[in-house]
Every structure is written in C-alpha cells, then in structure tokens.
Amino acid sequence: MTGGLVILTDQHIESYQRDGFVLVENVVPAEDIGRLRAEAERLFALDHPGRVFEKDGKTVRGVHGCHTTGELFPRLIRLPSLLASAEQLLASKVYVHQCKINAKRALSGDTWPWHQDYIFWEQQDGLREPRVVNVALFLDEADEFNGPLLFVPGSHLQGVIRTERNGSSPDGQAPDWASSLSADLDYALGPEDVARAVGDRGIRSATGPAGSLLFFDSRIVHASGPNMSPVDRTLFLATYNSVENELADVPAPRPEFLAARDNQPLEALHEAL
Ligand code: SIN
Ligand code: MN
C-alpha cells in the first residue's frame, strides 16, 4: 500500500487555496496507522533533545525531528499521498523543513495559542518565502473534545501579521528555541490580532478519523484547545519546503531537528510503508 499516488482533486486544491486548509479523510489505512501510533509511543519514551513536555514537566507534548529517527517516520514523509501532494501544492520538488508528532494527551494535552507558522520559520530559520505546506496525518481521531486544530478560513490571504516575539523559555533555563514549542508560544497573536483575523470569517475545526490527511498553509491563523477528552489526539505533522526556497543564513541556526538545512529533494516511496 503506497497510500495512493494522487489524492488531491482540483476541488481539494481550490479549497486549499481559498480557505488555506483542506482535509482528506481516510487516506492512510488502519493497519499502517496502528504501526505509526506504536512507533510514536516508542519515540515519546526516548530521551532526545527534540522531546518536549507540557508545563507539568512529565506529560509528553511532542517529539521533533521524527523524520530522521527510526525507520517508519522517515518512510512516511516519502509516502506519495503526502509527498506527491506537497509537490503538487508547491509545484516543485520538496524536502522536509520540520517534522513533529504532537501528542495532545488525553485529559492533559495543553493548548497551542493562535498563531501563524511562517513568522517562526522566517525569523528563526531564514525561510525566504511561504513556499511551504504543512501536511498533518491524524494518528488518532480528532473530534471536538480532544483539542482539534482550529482555523480561521481564508486568513492566509491576509499575509503575515507582524507580532512581537514573546521570547520566554519555559523554565528560564531551556535553550532559546524551546519557547517555539511550549504552550507559551513565541509569536502568539494578541487578542486584537485574533479578533481582526477572525472578523466575519469565523472559525472552523479540523475533525476527522485517524488516517485523515490535513493540508494547511503556513500563513493561516490557527490554534488548538486543551484535550478535555479521555482519548489522545496524536498528530503527525511534516512541513515540506520547496527545494527552490533554500534557507538564508541566520545568526543562531536552530538544531537540525527543528530546521533542516539539507534540502536534497525527497524521492517517493514505491513500496509499502
Ligand atoms: C496542534 O498540534 O494542535 C498545533 C500544531 C501547530 O500549530 O502546528
Ligand atoms: Mn502551527
């Protein structure tokens, strides 16, 4: 099973361009999701600098850099349903700039405040253009109770909202980059920016079964609430960048597991995951 070669129809692409996101349900089969879910648990238990905890210091919030750890996730980023779709949306060969698994644990997974992604990568990594696409794979069902992603449809068309960096590291001792990953997010949008962005566009949640793929623009205003459900909401997220959009030099490059500088084009996986 290669996950299907072309999954995005013209209608999907139209929705993506208009709304800044599109969800395609049931792309990756349950058997593969089971293996990916088990591998995610293995990575959550591994001591690695890319592993981040919630404010309680013990609940895993996420793992960064999973596209270069173990065997399964490095293969997943090459699955045609993800890779060929990213190439289609960016009209280019691509590589993975950043990759993570967000755990959003049952009854404890914390919020992601309202933000846009592009400003992080522009300011911290030297990303020149928003010629990137986020591809999220639901490793659990996302429903209205377990902290689904929330989007302001069409907000990507308003461009980047220039907000001040919060700059707080979670415990005052963590490295500078850690505050991009915690619930006290760098470049979180203030209440007025959020109100202005929402305007009359409203807010939509991205809910769907495990195995669904969600594509979203790096400039869309998005967030997620706490997980109030007894069920985890595990989300795999790969950010594909066009190979033509090479990172500029920055004074303090973040570790490779947060901002890849190897922009060799990915080749599609032609066998089973
Ligand atoms: C989430 O996992 O809910 C948020 C992910 C993101 O903002 O990139
Ligand atoms: Mn984000």
Pocket (CB within 6 angstroms of ligand 1): 102, 112, 149, 222, 224, 235, 237
92 in a structural domain: yes
* Cα–Cα dist 149/209, whole Å: 13
* Cα–Cα dist 101/107, whole Å: 18
252 in a structural domain: no
Distance from the alpha carbon of residue 150 to the mean position of ligand 1, in angstroms? 9
Residues whose CB is less than 8 angstroms from the CB of residue 164 and which lie 6 or more positions away in sequence, other chains included: none
270 in a structural domain: no
Q: Which amino acid is at 8?
A: L
41 in a structural domain: yes
Return the residue whose CA atom lies nearest to atom 8 of ligand 1. 117
Mutate to test the pocket of ligand 1, among 99, 151, 237 (most ligand atoms within 8 A of CB): 237
Provide the residue range defining the domain that includes 197. Answer: 10-242
Does the structure show a pLDDT above 50 at 67?
yes
Model confidence, pTM: 0.94
What's the pLDDT band for 2 if we cut at 50, 70, 90?
Answer: very low
Q: What is the pLDDT of residue 50?
A: 95
Does the structure show a pLDDT above 70 at 253?
yes
Structural domains in the chain (count): 1
160 in a structural domain: yes
Q: What is the pLDDT of residue 88?
A: 97
Ligand 1 atom at shortest distance from the alpha carbon of 222: 7
What's the pLDDT band for 175 if we cut at 50, 70, 90?
Answer: low
Ligand 1 atom at shortest distance from the alpha carbon of 62: 2
Distance from the alpha carbon of residue 147 to the mean position of ligand 1, in angstroms? 10
Mutate to test the pocket of ligand 1, among 112, 156, 181 (most ligand atoms within 8 A of CB): 112
- φ/ψ of 169, rounded to 5, equals -90, 150
2 in a structural domain: no
Cβ pair 234, 102 in contact under 8 A: yes
Ligand 1 atom at shortest distance from the alpha carbon of 149: 3
